Amino acid sequence: MSVPAPAPVPPVHGLQGPATCLVTGAGGGIGQAALAQLLAHPQVAQVHAVVRRAPGADPLAALAQAHPGRLHLHLADLTDEAALQRLADAVAASTPALHLVLHCAGLLHAPGLQPERALAQVRLAALQQVFAIDAFAPILLARVLEPLLPRAQQAVYASLSARVGSIGDNRLGGWYAYRAAKAAQNQLLHTLAIEWRRTRPQATCLLLHPGTVDTPLSRPFQARLPPGQLITPAQAAARLLAVIAAATPADSGRFLAWDGAPIPW
């Protein structure tokens, strides 16, 4: 006699019916892996994937072809407030409710932008560029998507922060803009969690550290990592989705690592 496989854990704790999800940074390392895993989940009915540029012949285009009508692609620069509102309007046009938002867009380096090693390298333009996506986008995205979070069901708003954003854990220094922007993101979303405790008690707002993940963001800084520290985007996504699935509204406002362990502010 064959034993039936156990039912998969709902993507959001306590959610009975089908789930609708939204993933930002869906063209990036962790975002794309999370998108693929959500699309493979039997309880996920629809996923809205947000990218900055139209996909070419990349895995995202293949996912879109494999899941017509289930995967909705949106183009948006998340540092543009008007684009955020257009995104929310476009999602609302096809989706009455979002049960899970996973914000994976972020920035550490770019052409002409390198994490600072010393005070002499700190520049206003770089601080503004990094804060725009790593601090401001997550809270502004929450503002435009809030009306789509159901009041009668549990919903999760999870955002990828970083352990280096922890002030208590900062022993090495450097990376001024990125560290400070992630710390600001933590404060903004922790504040939001306190508001939602009153206004949306079924909503869980999480700040998550994905681990050290082999993606374009970390690639220039991997050389001096201890062996075994680097994980794949698929491993990171699986761990993050497990932390999200286990979280309840009592966890709202927490800063958690990929294994569910709390990180000091």
Ligand X SMILES: NC(=O)c1ccc[n+]([C@@H]2O[C@H](COP(=O)([O-])OP(=O)(O)OC[C@H]3O[C@@H](n4cnc5c(N)ncnc54)[C@H](OP(=O)(O)O)[C@@H]3O)[C@@H](O)[C@H]2O)c1
* Segment lying near ligand X (by CB under 6 A), choices 23-31, 58-66, 91-99, 191-199: 23-31
- Interface pick for ligand X out of 21, 215, 239, 251 (rule CB under 6 A): 215
Identify whether the C-beta of residue 138 lies closer than 8 Å to the C-beta of residue 196.
no
Cα Rg, the chain, nearest whole Å: 18
The stretch near ligand X (CB under 6 A) out of 41-49, 60-68, 101-109, 168-176 is: 101-109
Q: Cβ 72 to ligand X, closest distance in Å?
A: 16
Q: Report the 10 Å Cβ neighbour count for 260.
A: 14
| Nearest distance in Å: CB 19, ligand X | 21
Asked if residue 237 binds ligand X (CB under 6 A), the reply is no
Amino acid at 246: A
What is the Cα–Cα distance from 186 to 180, expressed in whole angstroms?
10
Distance from CA of residue 61 to its chain's centroid? Answer: 20
Decide if residue 213 touches ligand X (CB under 6 A). Answer: yes
Residue 99 or 179 having the CB closest to ligand X? 179
Considering only 139-147, 208-216, 243-251, 257-265, which stretch makes contact with ligand X by CB under 6 A? 208-216
Supply the DSSP symbol for 4.
P
Does residue 55 bind ligand X (CB under 6 A)? no
Identify the residue among 10, 210, 249, 253 touching ligand X (CB under 6 A): 210
Interface with ligand X (CB under 6 A), residue total 27
**Applying CB under 6 A, does 104 fall inside the site for ligand X?**
yes
Q: Is 212 in the site for ligand X (CB under 6 A)?
A: yes
Spatial distance between the Cα atoms of 68 and 73, rounded to a whole number of angstroms: 10
- Number of Cβ within a 10 Å radius of residue 15: 19
CA angle, residues 65, 68, 72, in degrees to nearest 5: 100
Taking the least distance from each CB to ligand X, the nearer of 15 and 247 is 247
Query: Which CB atom, from 10 or from 27, has the smaller least distance to ligand X?
Result: 27
Q: Residue written as tokens 């708003």?
A: 157
> Is residue 53 a contact point for ligand X (CB under 6 A)?
yes
Q: How far is residue 16's CA from residue 255's CA, in Å, rounded to a whole number?
A: 26
Q: What angle do CA 151, 156, 157 make, to 5 degrees?
A: 110
- Chain residues binding ligand X by CB under 6 A are 25, 27-31, 52-53, 77-79, 104-108, 133, 160, 162, 209-210, 212-213, 215-218
